[in-house]
């Protein structure tokens, strides 16, 4: 295990274990979902393996692959996450993104199966995620089509999206931020689900608040 990759592998393992323990992957005994972090000064990432239970995973099971999906480091007999191409597509399109979390969390997944985006409900969430949590069209897991669908939805600068009949993706300027963004999406999805279920009229953020948020979130070089 190369020393220069060790901190990234530890970071990915710790984040994946936390997400698993808190139910973000949909099952405690399964291996669904995936986590990655960008390697500094390289076109590469550290990413979870495929088919390994998070409770059984070690730092040494975390893979390091190039954005071209070339294997740089990994345990023999295992494979990097089947969604490596999706993670790579996001890093290529969004150079400011340092980490990607893909989960099967419950309330986010509710909106994936009703194919419904989540509007801006809270300003602090919209500031972090974007003013609309869009739905990327369905494609079979692990395919190039799925990678392209997710990349297209996230190309506008949002830090999260829903994947139709699948789960969610959250991004961040750090792995901690990506995990927090997954939490924020789940909080918002749960509240939106309960609000819709009440049958009462619900309110979204007013247009002037959305304008302010979009101005704040706009990259400095675009203002």
| H or E element that contains 46 | strand 44-47
Instruction: Give phi and psi for 48, each to the nearest 5.
Output: -65, 155
DSSP state of 82: T
Closest CA to 120 of 209, 198, 218, 193: 209
The answer to whether residues 57 and 19 touch, using CB atoms and an 8 Å cutoff, is no
* Residue whose structure tokens are 């939490």: 183
Give the Cα separation of 150 and 55 in Å (integer): 28
**83 is a catalytic site residue:** yes
Closest CA to 206 of 156, 134, 133, 131: 131
Of 83, 85, 151, 186, which is the active-site residue?
A: 83
DSSP state of 48: P
- Give start and end residues of each alpha helix (H) in the chain: 3-21, 84-93, 106-113, 123-129, 144-154, 175-198, 207-217
Closest CA to 104 of 22, 48, 42, 38: 22
Which of the residues are catalytic? 83
């Amino acid at each position: 295990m190369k020393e220069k990759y060790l901190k990234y592998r530890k970071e990915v393992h710790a984040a994946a274990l936390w997400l698993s323990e808190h139910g973000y992957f949909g099952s405690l005994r399964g291996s669904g979902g995936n986590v990655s972090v960008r390697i500094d000064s390289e076109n590469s990432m550290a990413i979870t393996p495929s088919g390994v239970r998070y409770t059984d995973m070690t730092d040494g099971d975390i893979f390091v692959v190039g954005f071209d999906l070339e294997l740089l480091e990994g345990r023999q007999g295992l494979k990097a996450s089947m969604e490596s191409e999706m993670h790579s597509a996001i890093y290529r399109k969004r150079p400011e993104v340092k980490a990607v979390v893909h989960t099967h969390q419950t309330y986010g997944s509710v909106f994936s199966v009703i194919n419904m985006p989540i509007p801006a409900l809270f300003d602090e969430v919209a500031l972090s995620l974007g003013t609309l949590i869009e739905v990327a069209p369905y494609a079979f897991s692990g395919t190039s089509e799925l990678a392209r669908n997710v990349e297209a939805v996230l190309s506008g600068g949002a830090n999260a999206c829903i994947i139709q009949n699948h789960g969610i993706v959250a991004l961040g300027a750090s792995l901690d931020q990506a995990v927090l963004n997954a939490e924020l999406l789940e909080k918002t999805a749960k509240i939106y689900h309960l609000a819709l279920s009440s049958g009462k009229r619900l309110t979204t953020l007013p247009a002037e608040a959305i304008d302010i948020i979009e101005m704040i979130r706009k990259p400095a070089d675009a203002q």
